[in-house]
Amino acid sequence: MPDAKVALARPGEIRLEALPPLSLYVHMPWCVRKCPYCDFNSHEQKGDLPEDAYCAALVADLEHALPWVWGRRVHSIFFGGGTPSLFSARSIDRLLSDIRSRIPVPADTEVTLEANPGTFEAQKFRDFRAAGVNRLSIGIQSFNDAHLKALGRIHGADEARRAIEIAQKNFDNINLDLMYGLPAQTIAQALDDIGEGIRWGTAHLSAYQLTLEPNTVFYSHPPKLPAHDAAAEMQERVEELLAAAGFGHYETSAFAQPGRRSRHNLNYWQFGDYLGLGAGAHGKISFPDRIERHARAKQPREYMAMAPQGRSIVEHRVVGRADLPFEFMLNALRLVDGVPVALFRERTGLEIAAIEPALARAEALGLLERDWRAMRPSAKGQRFLNELLELFLP
């Protein structure tokens, strides 16, 4: 079992009757250039990518983690980044074969790969599909050249359109990532972007409001963003436009055509399990008597050195009983339809009575709605999600 610097093991505090679905997250940590708003674990590519060494480290990491997930099968696979589409189709193909030969992956498993315009070559994307990737998530962000420039993206609007065309020739399950609330953006421009996203006819759209995150260039040198009221109106109008086009709003920033929700992301939000492989990847694994969280070495070089020795994990903790309600709610309350009441006990091993006072308070404040079957954030709760979540802090 992998080594760990921190191990606050307190097993035996809970008892799970069944284990949740298990997803696999694979982090590819390089990008052509670091975007000034990005707080992901992404590193500017300098020289050739060490594709073979990195893929070998991922496979070694998986092998060392297998004892934690014996007998379980994979519910979904997600290659995230960074920019996974910088990797060759040959590497992705081999990785998927290596994964399939070590852990059961049913034939209909959702396999998503994140891709950025500027890395699209027709043949490569045909080969990604042939390798078994069946869903693409494309980081478009905007169709407006001035806004793409302000975001420090490497692509322009025409390149974004070309990327979608190539994607649509090979994939029928595509997500477009779009952002609004951009520097100097008007409401009309935000709606133009979403409108064009809709016209491409993809199954899924993610619409994120730009936020200034610590440890980013934008945080230390903030651009002028739309005022609070304008940003709130943008959000409302964006949601209306997507609803009118038949997109169901199912999570804070996620919108899908009927039947096309992301199975991988839904598993996170329903407090499912995920094994995170790769530099800086996080994981959550349930056992009958405990739930564990793991984090892997963040620097790619360090990760590649440690994973083959079974030492990629730098943080390893058992989630304490007192922290479980907040951790569950942090995910579940992002879902517009909420979750079945019974899921709380199923995924945390705790009785719903453990959070009854917080649920009652949230209801009294108009932040939460529930009946005997389901609990969900109210419209007010969706707007004031942090206030709602605070009620579940230990």
Q: Which residues contact 393 (CB under 8 A, 6 or more apart)?
A: 326
Number of residues located near ligand SF4, criterion CB under 6 A: 11
d(CA 305, CA 312): 8
d(CA 288, CA 110): 26
Give the CB-side neighbour count of residue 154, counting CA atoms within 13 A: 16
Q: Count Cβ atoms below 10 Å from residue 373 Cβ, excluding itself.
A: 9
How long, in residues, is the chain?
A: 394
Nearer CB in complex with ligand SF4: 37/392: 37
Q: Which of 4, 22, 24, 31 binds ligand SF4 (CB under 6 A)?
A: 31
- Whether residue 153 contacts residue 196, with contact meaning beta carbons closer than 8 Å, is answered with no
Confirm or reject binding of residue 384 to ligand SF4 (CB under 6 A). Answer: no
Confirm or reject binding of residue 175 to ligand SF4 (CB under 6 A). Answer: no
Q: Which of 42, 144, 206, 331 binds ligand SF4 (CB under 6 A)?
A: 42
Smallest gap from residue 80 Cβ to ligand SF4 (A) = 9
Nearer CB in complex with ligand SF4: 40/287: 40
Q: Which stretch binds ligand SF4 (CB under 6 A): 30-38, 71-79, 232-240, 250-258?
A: 30-38
Residue 12 in 3-state DSSP?
Answer: coil
Question: How big is the chain by its Cα radius of gyration, in Å?
Answer: 21
Nearer CB in complex with ligand SF4: 38/335: 38
Nearer CB in complex with ligand SF4: 52/213: 213
- Whether residue 273 contacts residue 23, with contact meaning beta carbons closer than 8 Å, is answered with yes
Q: Which stretch binds ligand SF4 (CB under 6 A): 32-40, 94-102, 199-207, 303-311?
A: 32-40
Smallest gap from residue 209 Cβ to ligand SF4 (A) = 15
Smallest gap from residue 1 Cβ to ligand SF4 (A) = 31
Smallest gap from residue 36 Cβ to ligand SF4 (A) = 9
Q: Which of 22, 24, 26, 35 binds ligand SF4 (CB under 6 A)?
A: 35
Q: In terms of Cα–Cα distance, which of 324, 369, 364, 360 is closest to 344? A: 324
Q: Which stretch binds ligand SF4 (CB under 6 A): 81-89, 248-256, 295-303, 359-367?
A: 81-89
d(CA 257, CA 203): 5
Q: Which stretch binds ligand SF4 (CB under 6 A): 78-86, 213-221, 275-283, 315-323?
A: 78-86
Q: In one letter, which amino acid is 114?
A: E
d(CA 179, CA 153): 12
Q: Which of 16, 34, 235, 352 binds ligand SF4 (CB under 6 A)?
A: 34
CA angle 245, 249, 252 (to 5 degrees): 140
Q: In terms of Cα–Cα distance, which of 142, 233, 231 is closest to 195? A: 142
Range list of H helices, the chain? 51-65, 89-100, 122-131, 145-150, 157-170, 187-199, 217-220, 228-244, 263-269, 300-306, 324-332, 341-348, 356-364, 379-383, 385-390
Q: In terms of Cα–Cα distance, which of 182, 243, 171, 239 is closest to 207? A: 239
Nearer CB in complex with ligand SF4: 166/335: 166
Confirm or reject binding of residue 81 to ligand SF4 (CB under 6 A). Answer: yes
Site string for ligand SF4, 128-147 (x = CB under 6 A): -----------x--------
- Whether residue 269 contacts residue 332, with contact meaning beta carbons closer than 8 Å, is answered with yes
Confirm or reject binding of residue 82 to ligand SF4 (CB under 6 A). Answer: yes
Site for ligand SF4 in 319-348 (CB under 6 A): none
Chain mean position to CA 99: 20
Q: Which of 14, 59, 62, 83 binds ligand SF4 (CB under 6 A)?
A: 83
Nearer CB in complex with ligand SF4: 298/345: 298
Smallest gap from residue 180 Cβ to ligand SF4 (A) = 15
Q: Which of 40, 208, 287, 384 binds ligand SF4 (CB under 6 A)?
A: 40
Site for ligand SF4 in 92-121 (CB under 6 A): 116
> Which residues are registered as beta bridge partners of 27?
80
The tokens for 97 are 């074969």
Binding site for ligand SF4 (CB under 6 A): 31, 34-35, 38, 40, 42, 81-83, 116, 139
